[in-house]
Amino acid sequence: MKVLQTPDSQFDGLADWPYQPVYTMIDTTSMSMSASISASDAVALRVHHIDARPQNETPGDGVETVLCMHGEPSWSYLYRKMIPRFVAAGHRVVAPDLIGFGRSDKPTETTDYTYERHVDWMTQWLMANDLKNLTLVCQDWGGLIGLRLVAAMPERFSRVVAANTFLNTGERPASEAFMAWRKFSQETSVFDVGRIMRGGCKVKPFADELRRAYDAPFPDDSYKAGARVFPTLVPISPESPSARENVEAWKSLRKFEKPFLTAFSDSDPVSVGGDRYFQREIPGCAGQAHTTITNAAHFLQEDAGEKFADVVNQFIAANKSEQ
């Protein structure tokens, strides 16, 4: 497996992003059978995250940890409007970059990426950092992977906030908008990440500095294998790879009684209806103040990040966990 690392200089001078990079090495030789890599392809991979903490935090003081998981084709920068509000509310924030994105390592072949490998990579990362008492905030692939972590390790999670995401099994038809995006992602000759991000936002204009920030992880096309292949990894039929694993994950989620909130946006055709499904199937959704974020498209963190952060903070405050 050939792996690229985006030069640090690509991230110089990004607006509203003062965070120091933190790296965790994960071992691909110890992956689960469903995600396994041949010995000849096994390498150590570097997963990046940021770790923002309240001032004067002390160990054991009951600080909540908000785990922000991004999706396609973004990176942790997507949460920059939300992180300061979480910290101001007294919460620690951990926001990783998935392998193939942001400052994390980038295998160069599309065949290097599978759904199960992504789940295993992030499982290793979470356990290596021994993250507990988590409030998961997930959008897009952040839910496809993050909800698998919740299903496998519910004891590490205190709450979940799902936004514009789903855990697909292929039994429920994918939206027309998603299938159009899937087709475009494989057929377009130019995979322009900044332009894709702009297209997934409602608020315009989309500043040039934002396009640069989302293009930053990808100096050229050789870095984009993970972003290119991601749409094809979503199960769209019961026979799709990882559909069976997601069916098993749903069995766990249907027993998840801890607080679970949906905060979908009003203008995202890709994930439409997913919130109602979560509310119907997951016990922890009962009695929660589910909301629709208005004037926001797929990337609601860009369109309404401050509003979304306030919803999460109110949810945490209303559902205090036992330390």
Model pLDDT for residues 74-120, shown as the tens digit of each residue: 999 999 999 999 999 999 999 999 999 999 999 999 999 999 999 99
Instruction: Give pLDDT tens digits for 284-318.
Output: 999 999 999 999 999 999 999 999 999 999 999 99
pLDDT of residue 312: 99
Which one of 3.40.50.720, 3.40.640.10, 3.30.450.20, 3.40.50.1820 gives the CATH number of domain 3-317?
A: 3.40.50.1820
Distance between first and last Cα of the chain: 42
Instruction: Give pLDDT tens digits for 272-286.
Output: 999 999 999 999 999
User: Can you tell me the distance from the alpha carbon of 217 to that of 194, in angstroms, rounded to the nearest whole number?
Assistant: 11
Instruction: Give pLDDT tens digits for 134-173.
Output: 999 999 999 999 999 999 999 999 999 999 999 999 999 9
Instruction: Give pLDDT tens digits for 32-49.
Output: 545 555 555 678 999 999
pLDDT over 70 percentage in the chain = 94
Q: Are 223 and 96 in contact (CB under 8 A)?
A: no
> Where does the pLDDT of residue 122 fall: very low under 50, low under 70, confident under 90, or very high at 90 and above?
very high
> Where does the pLDDT of residue 208 fall: very low under 50, low under 70, confident under 90, or very high at 90 and above?
very high
Residue 140's SS3 state is coil
pTM above 0.85, yes or no: yes
What does the domain layout of the chain look like in residue ranges?
Answer: 3-317
Q: What is the DSSP letter of 57?
A: -
Report DSSP letters for 181-235, one per residue: HHHHHHH-S---HHHHHHHT-SSS---HHHHHHHHTT-SSGGG-HHHHHGGGGS-
**Mean pLDDT over all residues of the chain?**
95
Give the catalytic positions in this structure. Answer: 140, 268, 298
User: Can you tell me the distance from the alpha carbon of 277 to that of 107, in angstroms, rounded to the nearest whole number?
Assistant: 34
